[in-house]
């Protein structure tokens, strides 16, 4: 009897039911490699047809064949001359038979033979429908369905009786017509999953020997390398594990650098911008970010801490040292125009040197239940399937990026479920079935939750204002965020994944607004000087009046300051420049400002 101890679960199920069922429909991970245990050599990686050939041989099948569309039959196990005696025409273990009706005739003939037990695998079963003509496929399936009901086990010599069986290999369960398996006790469907951790461990042990340095490692270090490969290849195919090892060999990495080989395989590039970040920049991150975002010390301090954590790849390390979570996740909450988006851009520039790696999604565009297809791509058969999803494509093109999901509360709750997988596993699966890894990204959510409250009559009232101290604002906003995720949309698990990384932004206070306005005015003056070689100077009186007018209403935050500068300073300055049309090296001294005929003017 075959020893099933070192076999995957689906193999054990197949072996268990072989004596009592005539047909098997295997589906799922059928194009992978599978670790087969050889008593003399150890684990060997085999394709499914070779793996099945070994299993069927051990069970007691003397003849094993596989049929492939456009190719015909291939004899994997058995005596070619013996088969030719009973009506087959094999040559060099191959027999080209294309029409499906002829294929069935041979399968039926094999099922009736009493001299030996035979098994026929039908490979690429999901593709046959694309290659068949007319009713060939329907006739073929009906005939094999009928054959399964009429067949009886064959006892050869004193061996256990076995069916001369037929094994279909399908891509997906839905490729099998429902009528074919309904209420038929002679047919069993068996899913073949991606390798579980035990299978990955066995496969890892069989392939790590290709590294010259592996044999020199002590046992604890060998186990550590194996566990690294097993843990970090969760939900990956066996073939991908082989590819990772081949990549490591090609790029001259050692066995102890297997984690780096996995990272390169997942993101597709060998460069790691995170490792190249200037340490002095990270050390002084608070000062660098504060020069771009004014008045948000708490948000800046939290962000700087997350960036330093990301540099050492410690995100999620409290749960597993093999964590593949994103480099970090931040949730920016607070009023509009206070610097949430600006801080995200500043973080991108700090990490990558420019804002090209900044990806923004306006979540108000994803309020519909099925808009998740815009992010991940449409499933097969739907419009836009070939295009792919916006998030998937963006990460494929730039795996090292800061991804901003703006106004997250406006997305449909179903969309938010995507973030569970992103924050937990650092990966998403596209509509095409491709896996995209976000382990090299920094995720930032923004929200206006807690700033306004919608009453039963539909009107909105402001819950917090700049008259309140920051501590009170923070308390109210955090409470609203908790209520939203826990009770309104019933997704407390999302809040749990974000953890302690919620940062509440303060309103733009007058001191901060003055600094912002001063910075913007100086930027405008520098632009005129650089482009036109004209000096602009403001008298203390003019400067004071401009600033006073700009910061008189801070309800719209920093954007409001920018809009007001446009009205009070940029527009009248443009009119003044046209009026004076200064030459290079001229100096314009603005002595005062005046509001006249519903517009501002600068006085010289």
For the stretch 135-157, pLDDT in tens is: 788 889 999 999 999 999 988 88
Q: What is the DSSP string of 396-410?
A: HH-SS-EEEEETGGG
Query: For position 96, what pLDDT does the model report?
Result: 85
Pairing mode of beta strands 187-192, 23-28 = parallel
Buried b (16+ CB within 10 A) or exposed e, 66-90: bbbbeebbbbbbbebeebeeeebeb
Per-residue pLDDT averaged across 283-294, rounded? 89
| Contact residues for 45 (Cβ-Cβ < 8 A; gap 6+) | 33, 34, 35, 36, 203, 206, 207, 238, 242
185 pLDDT tier (thresholds 50, 70, 90): confident
Whether residue 11 has pLDDT greater than 90: yes
**pLDDT classification of 159: cutoffs 50, 70, 90:** confident
Residues 188-210: tens digit of each pLDDT: 999 999 998 888 888 888 888 88
Structure confidence at residue 134 as a pLDDT band (50, 70, 90):
low
Structure tokens, 439: 């382990």
SS3 191: strand
Pairing assessment for the beta strands 592-596 and 599-603 based on DSSP bridges: antiparallel
pLDDT at position 384: 55
Q: What burial class does residue 559 get, using C-beta atoms within 10 Å of its C-beta: 0-12 exposed, 13-18 middle, 19+ buried?
A: middle
Contact 384/444 with Cβ under 8 angstroms?
no
Query: Taking phi first (over 0 means left), then psi (-120 to 50 degrees means alpha), and beta for anything else, what does residue 323 get?
Result: beta
The distance of Cα 580 from the centroid of its chain, to the nearest Å, equals 58
Q: Is residue 86 over pLDDT 90?
A: no
Q: Model confidence over 483-532: pLDDT tens digits?
A: 999 888 888 888 888 888 899 998 888 888 888 889 899 999 999 999 98
Tokens representing 375 are: 């992010």
Please choose, from the candidates 259, 244, 233, 239, the residue with its C-alpha nearest in 3D space to the C-alpha of residue 210. Answer: 244
Q: pLDDT (tens digit, 9 = 90+) per residue, 518-539?
A: 989 999 999 999 998 999 999 9
Residue 89 has a pLDDT of 86
Q: In this structure, are residues 410 and 484 in contact, taking their beta carbons and an 8 Å threshold?
A: no
Residues 333/505, Cβ–Cβ less than 8 Å: yes
Residue % of the chain over a pLDDT of 90: 29
SS (H, E, C) 23-55: EEEEEECCCCEEEEEECCCEEEEEEHHHHHHHH
63-84 pLDDT per residue, tens? 999 999 888 999 999 988 888 8
For residue 63, the cross-strand partners are: 118
Question: Is residue 85 within a helix (H) or strand (E), and if so which, with residue range?
Answer: helix 80-85
* 446-465 burial code (b ≥16 CB/10 A, e <16): bbbbbbeeeeeeeeeeebbe
Compute the mean pLDDT over every residue in the chain, rounded to the nearest whole number.
86
Give how far Cα 57 sits from Cα of 53, 61, 116, 137, 142, Å.
Answer: 6, 5, 12, 29, 29
Average pLDDT over residues 462-480: 87
In the predicted structure, residue 322 carries a pLDDT above the cut 60: no
Q: Is the pLDDT of residue 478 over 50?
A: yes
Q: Nearest CA to 564 among 574, 553, 575?
A: 553
Given a cut of 90, whether residue 120 has pLDDT beyond it is yes
pLDDT at 2: 66
On the question of pLDDT at 14 being above 90, the answer is yes
- Rounded to two decimals, what is the model's pTM? 0.73
Q: Residue 72, by phi and psi: left (phi above 0), alpha (psi -120 to 50) or beta?
A: left
Asked if 451 and 464 touch (Cβ cutoff 8 Å), the reply is yes
Among the ranges given (127-131, 224-228, 255-259), the one the predictor scored with the smallest mean pLDDT: 127-131
Distance CA 90, CA 477 (A): 77
Contact 61, 154 (CB under 8 A): no
pLDDT at position 312, please? Answer: 76
User: pLDDT digit string (tens) for 349-376?
Assistant: 888 887 778 899 999 998 888 888 888 8
Say how far apart CA 330 and CA 339 lie, in whole Å: 14
HEC readout, 431-471:
CCCCEEECCCCEEEEEECECCEEECCCCCEEECCCCCCCHH
Q: Say if CB 121 and CB 66 are below 8 A apart.
A: yes
pLDDT at 549 over 80: yes
pLDDT of residue 318: 45
pLDDT digits (tens, 9 = 90+) for 40-67: 877 788 899 999 999 999 999 999 999 9
Instruction: Report how far residue 124's alpha carbon sits from residue 171's, in angstroms, rounded to the nearest whole number.
Output: 8
Query: How far is Cα of residue 392 from the mean position of the Cα atoms in its chain?
Result: 7
Main-chain dihedrals φ then ψ at residue 123, nearest 5 degrees:
-85, 155
Cβ atoms of 448 and 484 within 8 Å: the answer is no
Per-residue confidence band for 557, with pLDDT thresholds at 50, 70 and 90: confident
Q: What pLDDT is recorded for position 380?
A: 59
Rounded distance between C-alpha atoms, residue 289 and residue 312, angstroms: 20
Given this model, what pLDDT does residue 317 score? 46
């Amino acid at each position: 009897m075959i020893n099933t101890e070192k076999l995957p679960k689906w193999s054990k199920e197949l072996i268990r039911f072989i004596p009592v069922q005539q047909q098997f429909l295997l589906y799922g991970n059928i194009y992978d490699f599978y670790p087969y245990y050889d008593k003399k050599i150890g684990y060997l990686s085999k394709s499914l047809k070779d793996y099945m050939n070994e299993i069927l041989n051990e069970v007691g099948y003397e003849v094993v064949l596989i049929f492939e569309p456009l190719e015909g039959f291939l004899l994997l196990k058995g005596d070619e001359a013996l088969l030719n005696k009973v009506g087959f025409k094999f040559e060099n273990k191959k027999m080209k038979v294309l029409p499906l009706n002829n294929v069935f005739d041979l399968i039926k003939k094999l099922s009736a033979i009493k001299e030996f037990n035979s098994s026929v695998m039908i490979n690429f079963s999901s593709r046959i429908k694309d290659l068949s003509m007319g009713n060939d496929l329907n006739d073929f399936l009906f005939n094999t369905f009928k054959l399964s009901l009429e067949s009886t086990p064959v006892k050869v010599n004193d061996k256990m009786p076995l069916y001369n069986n037929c094994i279909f290999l399908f891509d997906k369960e839905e490729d099998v017509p429902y009528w074919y398996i309904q209420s038929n006790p002679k047919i069993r469907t068996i899913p073949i999953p991606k390798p579980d951790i035990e299978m990955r461990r066995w496969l890892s042990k069989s392939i790590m020997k290709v590294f010259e340095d592996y044999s020199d490692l002590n046992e604890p270090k060998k186990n550590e390398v194996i566990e690294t490969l097993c843990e970090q290849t969760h939900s990956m195919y066996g073939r991908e594990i082989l590819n990772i090892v081949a990549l490591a060999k090609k790029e001259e990495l050692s066995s102890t650098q297997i984690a780096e080989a996995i990272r390169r395989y997942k993101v597709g590039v060998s460069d790691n911008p995170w490792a190249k970040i200037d340490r002095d920049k990270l050390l002084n991150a608070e000062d660098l970010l504060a020069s771009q975002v004014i008045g948000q010390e708490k948000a800046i301090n939290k962000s700087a801490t997350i960036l330093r954590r990301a540099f050492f790849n410690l995100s999620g390390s409290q749960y597993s040292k093999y964590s593949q979570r994103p480099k970090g996740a931040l949730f920016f909450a607070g009023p509009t125009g206070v610097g949430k988006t600006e801080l995200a851009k500043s973080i991108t520039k700090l990490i990558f040197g420019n804002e090209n790696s900044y990806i923004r999604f306006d979540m108000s565009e994803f309020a519909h239940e099925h808009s998740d297809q815009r992010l991940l791509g449409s499933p097969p058969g739907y419009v836009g399937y070939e295009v792919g999803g916006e998030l998937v494509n963006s990460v494929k093109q730039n795996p090292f990026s800061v991804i901003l999901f703006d106004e997250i509360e406006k997305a449909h709750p179903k969309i938010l479920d995507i973030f569970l997988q992103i924050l937990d596993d650092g990966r998403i699966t596209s509509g095409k079935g491709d896996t995209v890894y976000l382990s090299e990204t920094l995720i930032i959510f923004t929200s206006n939750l807690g700033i306004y409250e919608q009453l039963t009559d539909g009107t909105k009232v402001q819950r917090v204002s700049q008259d309140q101290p920051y501590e009170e604002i923070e308390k109210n906003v955090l409470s609203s965020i908790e209520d939203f995720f826990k009770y309104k949309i019933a997704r407390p698990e999302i809040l749990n994944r974000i953890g302690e990384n919620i940062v509440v932004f303060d309103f733009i206070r007058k001191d901060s607004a003055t600094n912002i306005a001063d910075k913007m005015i100086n930027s405008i003056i520098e632009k005129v000087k650089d482009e036109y070689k004209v000096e602009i100077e403001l008298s203390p009186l003019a400067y004071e009046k401009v600033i006073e007018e700009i910061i008189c209403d801070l309800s719209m935050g920093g954007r409001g300051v920018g809009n007001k500068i446009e009205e009070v300073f940029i527009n009248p300055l443009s009119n003044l420049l046209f009026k004076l049309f200064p030459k290079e090296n001229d100096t314009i001294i603005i002595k005062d400002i005046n509001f006249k005929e519903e517009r501002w003017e600068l006085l010289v």
